[in-house]
Amino acid sequence: MLDLKSKFIAAGAVALSLGLATMPVKAQEFINVLTGGTSGVYYPLGVALSDIYGKDIEGARAQVQATKASVENLNLLQQGKGEIAFALGDSVKLAWEGNKEAGYPGKLDKLRGIAAIYPNYIQIVASAESGIKTLADLKGKSLSVGAPASGTELNARAIFEAAGMKYEDLGKVEYLPFAESVELIKNRQLDATLQSAGLGVASIRDLSTSLKINVVAVPKADVEKIGAPYISVVIPANTYDGQTEDVETAAVGNFLISHDGVSEETAYQMTKLLFENLDKLTAAHAAAKAIDPAKALDGMPVPLHPGAERYYKEKGLLK
């Protein structure tokens, strides 16, 4: 027989174990950062963000995923297969509209905005020996336009339409990632590549150090025909080896996008840590120098995530 004291201890132990069993256990936060090809700009920035989130968001486990970039990223977000993604502004706009020709099954209504980040420059680069110096010179030549229905390929379509050209005008169209396109040009199996990326993208830097290149202009008049969200910009001289003059081209803003299934607190932390760690992002890629909280809401094509909204209100950037 248990004495009275033992009964009280036993009863207390049972109560404690029952109490512990009903206490909520915080599930580990999983943050999948969706990027692009490993030779582009999204990937190194995504690696840096993943590292920041994994270290500074309590209980979070973060990873970075290489993808075909914008269009694939947005479709994955809609399916809940990522928590934050890089994407081009025109791709985000078309996703919100549910444009099937752009690669979306319907309106991606779960997308929510985190921040506008840096502009993508549409960079058309040809080997000097191809003789390609203008858009018209691409006729009859071979060009890689990025993965099919990727953000880059959507940019290529827009540029061609504004210039009064079609893919059929080319000798051959390749749908390849940046690094593969560059390897083909080096091997003289491809004349030119169109790459939508931050200035100084590794793939084109690699190409320019390997052989002589021509950076092909996209005239301001053509960019104005396309209209928003495209803007006319200049690739400054000496961005790449052998590029001795400024070159006109088009740019489109990049965005960080999340979805409505991500908690307000997580989205708040992701937004806050983005702007508190710009030095680490710039160390990962110089394109991050253009990230500015004062411009973070410029041209946002989808509704803001409530967590991001909370951050901007705290900083006085949103009323």
Q: Could you say which of 3.40.50.720, 1.10.10.60, 3.40.190.10, 3.50.50.60 is the CATH number of the domain covering 120-252?
A: 3.40.190.10
Q: Structural domain boundaries of the chain?
A: 29-118+253-314, 120-252
Dihedral sign computed on CA atoms, order 234, 237, 241, 244: positive
Q: Could you say which of 3.40.50.2000, 3.40.50.300, 3.40.190.10, 3.40.50.150 is the CATH number of the domain covering 29-118+253-314?
A: 3.40.190.10
Domain 29-118+253-314 identical in fold to domain 120-252: yes
Tens-digit pLDDT string for the chain (319 aa): 445 445 444 445 444 444 444 444 445 789 999 999 888 899 999 999 999 999 999 999 999 999 999 999 999 999 999 999 999 999 999 999 999 999 999 999 999 999 999 998 999 999 999 999 999 999 999 999 998 878 899 999 999 999 999 999 999 999 998 999 999 999 999 999 999 998 989 999 999 999 999 999 999 999 999 988 888 999 999 999 999 999 999 999 999 999 999 999 999 999 999 999 999 999 999 999 999 999 999 889 999 999 999 999 999 999 8
Give Cβ neighbours of residue 284 (< 8 Å, ≥ 6 apart). Answer: 44, 45, 47, 48
C-alpha 211/C-alpha 19 separation (Å) is 70
Q: Are 69 and 46 in contact (CB under 8 A)?
A: no
Q: Are 248 and 282 in contact (CB under 8 A)?
A: no
33: left (phi over 0), alpha (psi -120 to 50) or beta: beta
Prior bond of 306 cis (ω within 30°) = no
